[in-house]
A and B are shown apart, each in its own frame.
Chain A
Amino acid sequence: MKPFLNKVLPHPILTLVLWGVWLLLNNTIGAGHIVLGLILAIFIPWLTSGFWPEKVRIQSPLTLLKFLGVVLWDILVANMAVAKLILGRNKDLNPGFFYIDLDIETPLGISLLANTISLTPGTVSCDLTEDRKRLLVHALHIEDIPATIKEIKARYEAPLKKVFVAC
């Protein structure tokens, strides 16, 4: 049963996402679209599985949900903080670059971490070294670099590392 399922659904998460996107795009939950969406969601991953060589497993969905909650909350807070910084005087801003040494190894995990960093408190991810070990980040206003790195690692990297495991 298991190998058969793997063959029909090479990327079950992608299938679910495509199905959801199809229904949202059509803005309906009519029976016709549910069936059509399911057919597309099964065939598209199957046809494109050659482009997705490495598989990723989601280990603990609960951690992922908690992570999403934390990120959404941080986006809210980040927007207020950045709005205040932007409306303040330019002279008071102390921008800076710093490197984060990554513990996370899966490409999907790294890209999600980089995205999260760009969306949250005053930081934009700028570059990833070729060996995928260090991420360059630019901060709009930074006072204590080691503390910020520690916070990013604990708040975003740790849960992502726990959730996305390569198979």
Chain B
Amino acid sequence: MFEWILSALIVIGAFFTLVGSIGLYKLPDFFMRLHGPTKATTLGVGALLIASALYFSFKTDDISLHEVLITVFLFITAPVSAHLMAKAAIHIKLKQVDRTQNKMK
């Protein structure tokens, strides 16, 4: 049973990370591509880390919680880097798809 839960978590994590990468590849402009890695990956990595914490807590004698730190650092750094990249992209006037509302000029 325990293995099933872990496997499910790992598969979910892998799926969302994959979706993030697909988004990075197929979306049409830079600003839309930013959405893939900032979001799809938070749940993807989150699920993988929960699986890791559960596995090492139950399979070894010690409780393993340092995965929490990875999640926290990821949640702090991913939006900051996205913000800086978007800011730079606006500054150098990267192309935006034509149907974008309130285009930045």
Pick the contact of B36: A76, A86, A96, A115 (CB < 8 A): A86
Tell me the bound Cα distance from A79 to B43 in angstroms. 7
The answer to whether the Cβ of A75 comes within 8 Å of any Cβ in the partner chain is yes
Would you call B101 and A124 a contact (CB within 8 A)? Answer: no
The answer to whether the Cβ of B95 comes within 8 Å of any Cβ in the partner chain is no
Segment from A39-47, A48-56, A138-146 that makes contact with B: A138-146
- A interface footprint on B25-61 (CB within 8 Å = 1, 0 otherwise): 0111101101110111011101000000000000000
Most central of B22, B44, B79, B97 by chain A CB within 10 Å? B79
User: Which residue of A has the minimal Cβ distance to B74?
Assistant: A119
Would you call B69 and A24 a contact (CB within 8 A)? Answer: yes
Would you call A86 and B40 a contact (CB within 8 A)? Answer: yes
Tell me the bound Cα distance from A114 to B62 in angstroms. 37
User: Which residue of A has the minimal Cβ distance to B86?
Assistant: A126
Which residues of chain A from 95 to 122 have any CB-CB distance to chain B below 8 Å in the complex? 95-98, 114-115, 117-120, 122
Would you call B65 and A27 a contact (CB within 8 A)? Answer: yes
Interface size class of B (residues with CB under 8 A): 35 or more
Q: A24-B65, A83-B19 are in contact. Are A119 and B39 (CB under 8 A)?
A: yes
Pick the contact of A124: B26, B38, B64 (CB < 8 A): B38
Pick the contact of A21: B44, B69, B99 (CB < 8 A): B69
Would you call A79 and B82 a contact (CB within 8 A)? Answer: no
- A interface footprint on B76-103 (CB within 8 Å = 1, 0 otherwise): 1011101100110010000011011111
User: Which residue of A has the minimal Cβ distance to B100?
Assistant: A95
Pick the contact of B102: A79, A83, A97, A122 (CB < 8 A): A97
Tell me the smallest distance from the CB of B61 to a CB of chain A, in Å. Answer: 12
Q: A75-B42, A90-B27 are in contact. Are A27 and B64 (CB under 8 A)?
A: yes
Contacts of B29 in A (CB 8 A): 95
Would you call A119 and B79 a contact (CB within 8 A)? Answer: yes
Tell me the bound Cα distance from A24 to B49 in angstroms. 14
User: Which residue of A has the minimal Cβ distance to B30?
Assistant: A138
The answer to whether the Cβ of B5 comes within 8 Å of any Cβ in the partner chain is no
Tell me the smallest distance from the CB of B22 to a CB of chain A, in Å. Answer: 6
Contacts of A26 in B (CB 8 A): 66
The answer to whether the Cβ of B104 comes within 8 Å of any Cβ in the partner chain is yes
Would you call B16 and A79 a contact (CB within 8 A)? Answer: yes
Q: A136-B104, A142-B101 are in contact. List 6 more A-B contacts (CB 8 A).
A: A27-B65, A94-B101, A95-B29, A98-B101, A118-B78, A119-B79
